[in-house]
Amino acid sequence: MTWRVYAELLDILERASPGRSRRPRRSPRGWTLQELARQLSTGFPRIPRREVARLVRELVMLGALLRRGRRYIRSPRAIFVVGTLKRHRRGFLLVAPEGERARQKYGDIHVRESSAGTALHGDRVLVRVLGRLPAEAPARAHCTWEGRVEKILERAQAIVVGRFMRAPYAGYVLPLDERFLYEIEIAPGEALEAEDGQIVAVELLRPPTAHHPPVGRIVEILGRDGDPGLDEEIVIRKYRLPYRFSESALREAAALPDSVHDRALWRERLARDELKRRDFRGWVTVTIDGESARDFDDAVSVERLPDGSFLLGVHIADVSTYVPEGSALDIEARERGTSVYFPDRVLPMLPERLSEDLCSLKPGVDRVALSVLMKINRRGDVLAYELCPSLIRSQARLTYTFVNELLSGRIEALRPSGRLELSAEASFAHIADALRTMAELGEILIERRHKRGAITFDLPEPVVLFDDEGRIGGIIRAERNLAHRMIEEFMILANETVARHLARGPMPMIYRVHEPPEAERVREFLALVKALGFSIPRQGLRTPRDFQHLVQQFAKRREGRVLSLMMLRSFRPAIYSTENRGHFGLALEHYTHFTSPIRRYPDLVVHRLLRRALARPRASVRPKEREALERIAEQCTERERLADEAEREILAWKRARFMAERVGQEYEGIIVSVKEYGFYVELEEVFIEGLVHISTLTDDRYDFDPRRYALVGRRGRRRFRLGDVVRVRVARVDVDHHLVDFVLVGMPESRRRAS
């Protein structure tokens, strides 16, 4: 908790600092210790006063606070920020500030290696902001400010995963994370009978110092290369992902009744609703998800009205009925923040009894939901809407592939299969008619989205295929079809409608915020697309529509998908916030996440806020509630980023293991990135990327041309540019660090022979 208290106190100082408001909250005389303790008690009601006194003394010693008698004032010259130290894969260090206010003001703060002390990647640190970086500073990683680590508040690397190497006396562990730069000595008698080459989890007993390596003890042996599930176990330990539920949470889940019609459930929870549930069980309602989905939290229905408009129903599982605020289930869900999806395993936010059974909108079963009913005209405008608790019964569990084939006319009957489930009352004619109406409405909403200037990235997702024995059989691109886009538009519209409704009331709210990209990143991206010959608006790239027009140009070029991905990476990541700053990518003024409460905690919180707003629209709001929501929003943003990193890493493991068995094989691919040290090639046959290092281009000496983003030969003037198709051979694979090296087919064996 210490780092959170530091962050909260510094945030209090930042909010009250002169220049941010004409009427700062603090008195010009500063704060007494009692006043600071009272400020902190809003977020930390049980914090001891002696802990506040200790923290204040430390800030005085560091120079962040100045003491004037019994009062403390903020130093005008010393700026401190709490953040997470991150070591970039290219070697430089930066601190990502905690707290939305600090992130907006400073962004990532660059830290020199000599200014980091013994802090390691992932540690929570207190950093002193030294000043702005000079424009020509190397390895800036888009940082504007420079800082120095003053104190390590929390060690992140309590557990390190690595490969055990036996030594004469004990042994040592080589970390699998290249950002952990030290070999770890294993204390005598602490090797846990690990064998040479095994993957182990190590608890650090002593962190590294200036003259001594870290020392640890092995707490778990995860296995050897090739063991089933090893990659997942490595990633779970590395990112400290919760993978077991507490006994109290499991007891709560087991005690829940199987049916929504259970008398105890109605008496204890459902009957307490101040709003009566609407009964939509007679509607043609279906779920449409991926083939491997097991938690169905959204269902849709559509009806064509006599005046030619549409009545769209988006029905979302009412998880808040089963997970009361403050319960053991709620505490577990908040700690996770989101479900984490691996290729063949899920770490759910809620126990499977809820996520795959009681809350899942399975066909033919009555389920409680929160429904968004929207009357939409043929231009895609929402003419009227209704938000209400409901009771629904899905008629079919459909997949994107099935719906796309039906809309294409390749399916003429509705038959249950391994991935298709039907209720007893399901009718092919009714469901097919509803799907065709949904497709018509989906096309209208897609056109509306285009007209308002939203940016659409139809980028394929990697899908890992497994054989009958659980080995990786391939990694392919999952292309998006009309069914994906249709459901996406329905969910976006429901999220926007809920956000607009709640924004009009007095209640605080968690928004999904996507801010415009940073000017420097836009300039860098502009330089790239200009060098490749694309036309740019005279005013540059300012609005979502400007980026949208560029994406349309990309669609006509072979390297278009790569450029779309580079554009996406130049954007700021979307975050959760109680302050509504709009959604740049979707070109929307109001947006939230409401449609996935089984797998995202912010959606569950928004459900609770909506039910409260519907029952008591004029309810007063206490300041503590707003601040509690701010902390939830920040934590959910952090957990989402952690889950994204874990999901990317597990894919990197799978790709490396797949290619390790194919060294020497040849593939055709496209150049997706060009650097000073070589270029990256994405294979056509399998969705995998690897590096062709410049040292392997032996037919000439190549230089990087930054104006054309190409490698150019000095003598032959041969060029390797973004989008070029090349044929490569798999030369080397480093599985532990997920690196795949290619060589161009047809290159001479050495430069001497080429000359």
Q: What is the DSSP string of 422-474?
A: E-TT--HHHHHHHHHHHHHHHHHHHHHHHHTT-----PPEEEEEE-TTS-EEE
Neighbours of 255 (CB within 10 A): 9
pLDDT for position 750: 63
pLDDT for position 19: 42
The helix-helix angle for 623-660 and 328-336 (nearest 10°) equals 60
Q: Is residue 430 part of a domain?
A: yes
pLDDT for position 413: 64
Distance (Å, whole) CA 690 – CA 259: 51
Residue range 739-743: mean pLDDT, rounded? 96
Q: Which residues on neighbouring strands pair with residue 313, listed in sequence order?
A: 301, 373
Count of structural domains, the chain: 4
**Structural domain for 676, as ranges:** 662-754
Q: Is residue 671 part of a domain?
A: yes
Each residue's pLDDT tens digit, 576-610: 999 999 999 999 999 999 999 999 999 999 999 99
Each residue's pLDDT tens digit, 673-693: 999 999 999 999 999 999 999
Band (pLDDT 50/70/90 cuts) for residue 309 is very high
Q: Residue 548 corresponds to which amino acid?
A: Q
Whether residue 690 is found in the same domain as residue 643: no
Kind of pairing, strands 286-289 and 396-399? parallel
Top pLDDT among 365 and 46 is at 365
Kind of pairing, strands 461-466 and 472-478? antiparallel
pLDDT at 275 over 80: no
Each residue's pLDDT tens digit, 105-134: 888 899 988 888 888 888 899 999 988 887
In 616-655, the DSSP E strands lie at none
pLDDT for position 370: 97
Q: Which residues on neighbouring strands pair with residue 114, listed in sequence order?
A: none
Q: Residue 552 is encoded by which pair of tokens?
A: 């349309």
Each residue's pLDDT tens digit, 101-113: 788 788 889 998 8
Domain harbouring 208, CATH code:
2.40.50.700
Whether residue 14 is found in the same domain as residue 109: yes
Whether residue 414 is found in the same domain as residue 447: yes
Top pLDDT among 4 and 514 is at 514
pLDDT for position 496: 98
The share of the chain scoring above pLDDT 90, in percent, equals 53
Whether residue 609 is found in the same domain as residue 748: no
Domain harbouring 728, CATH code:
2.40.50.140
Q: What 8-state DSSP symbol labels residue 356? A: I
Domain end point (choices 150, 173, 200):
150
Q: Is residue 565 part of a domain?
A: no
Domain end point (choices 98, 122, 150):
150
CA angle 265, 267, 272 (to 5 degrees): 100
Whether residue 146 is found in the same domain as residue 179: no
Domain end point (choices 619, 647, 675):
647
pLDDT for position 415: 63
Band (pLDDT 50/70/90 cuts) for residue 154 is confident
pLDDT at 18 over 50: no
Exposure pattern of 109-126 as b/e (b: 16+ CB <10 Å)?
A: bbbeeebbbebbbbbbbb
Whether residue 289 is found in the same domain as residue 177: no
Distance (Å, whole) CA 60 – CA 67: 7
Handedness of CA 701, 706, 707, 709 (dihedral sign): positive
**Strand ordering across the sheet containing 710-713:** 702-705, 710-713, 719-721
Neighbours of 137 (CB within 10 A): 12
Whether residue 118 is found in the same domain as residue 265: no
pLDDT for position 573: 92
CA angle 707, 584, 83 (to 5 degrees): 80
Distance (Å, whole) CA 83 – CA 149: 10
pLDDT at 421 over 80: no
pLDDT for position 709: 86
pLDDT for position 28: 52
Whether residue 465 is found in the same domain as residue 328: yes
pLDDT for position 754: 41
pLDDT at 187 over 60: yes
pLDDT for position 22: 39
pLDDT for position 755: 36
pLDDT at 53 over 70: yes
Q: What is the DSSP code string of 532-587?
A: TT----TT-S-SHHHHHHHHHHHTTSTTHHHHHHHHHHHSPPPEEESS---BTTTT
Judge contact between 369 and 358, C-beta under 8 A: no
pLDDT for position 1: 54
Top pLDDT among 138 and 252 is at 252
pLDDT for position 752: 42
Q: Residue 648 corresponds to which amino acid?
A: R
Q: What is the DSSP code string of 32-87?
A: EHHHHHHHHHTT-TT--HHHHHHHHHHHHHHTSEEEETTEEEE-SS--EEEEEEEE
pLDDT at 490 over 50: yes
Judge contact between 637 and 629, C-beta under 8 A: no
pLDDT for position 414: 61
- Average pLDDT of the chain? 88
Distance (Å, whole) CA 721 – CA 700: 16
Q: In residues, how long is the chain?
A: 755
Whether residue 507 is found in the same domain as residue 413: yes
Distance (Å, whole) CA 130 – CA 146: 6
Neighbours of 552 (CB within 10 A): 12
Whether residue 128 is found in the same domain as residue 171: no
Top pLDDT among 328 and 265 is at 328
Containing 4, the helix (H) or strand (E) segment is helix 2-15
Q: Residue 704 is encoded by which pair of tokens?
A: 């990087």
In degrees and rounded to multiples of 5, residue 36 shows phi and psi of -65, -40
Residue with tokens 């709003």: 275
The share of the chain scoring above pLDDT 70, in percent, equals 93
pLDDT at 269 over 70: no
Q: Is residue 67 part of a domain?
A: yes
Q: Is residue 657 part of a domain?
A: no
Judge contact between 720 and 674, C-beta under 8 A: yes
pLDDT at 25 over 60: no
pLDDT for position 524: 85
Reduced to 3 states, what is the DSSP secondary structure of residue 492? helix
Q: Is residue 547 part of a domain?
A: no
Q: Is residue 516 part of a domain?
A: no
pLDDT for position 27: 46
Residue with tokens 């307490």: 272
Q: Is residue 626 part of a domain?
A: yes
Helices vs strands, H then E, count in the chain: 18, 35
Residue range 204-216: mean pLDDT, rounded? 85
pLDDT at 531 over 90: no
Whether residue 128 is found in the same domain as residue 170: no
By mean pLDDT, which of 183-187, 260-264, 350-354, 710-714 is the weakest? 260-264
Judge contact between 495 and 566, C-beta under 8 A: no
Residue range 539-544: mean pLDDT, rounded? 87
Each residue's pLDDT tens digit, 450-468: 999 999 888 888 999 888 7
Among candidate residues 438, 431, 452, 548, the one with its CA nearest the CA of residue 490:
438
Which of the listed ranges 7-21, 43-57, 135-149, 579-593 does the model predict with the highest average pLDDT?
579-593
Reduced to 3 states, what is the DSSP secondary structure of residue 378? coil
pLDDT at 529 over 90: no
Which of the listed ranges 71-80, 464-473, 624-633, 642-651 does the model predict with the highest average pLDDT?
642-651
Whether residue 592 is found in the same domain as residue 711: no
Q: Report in angstroms the alpha-carbon separations of 137 from 91, 132, 140, 142.
A: 15, 10, 6, 10
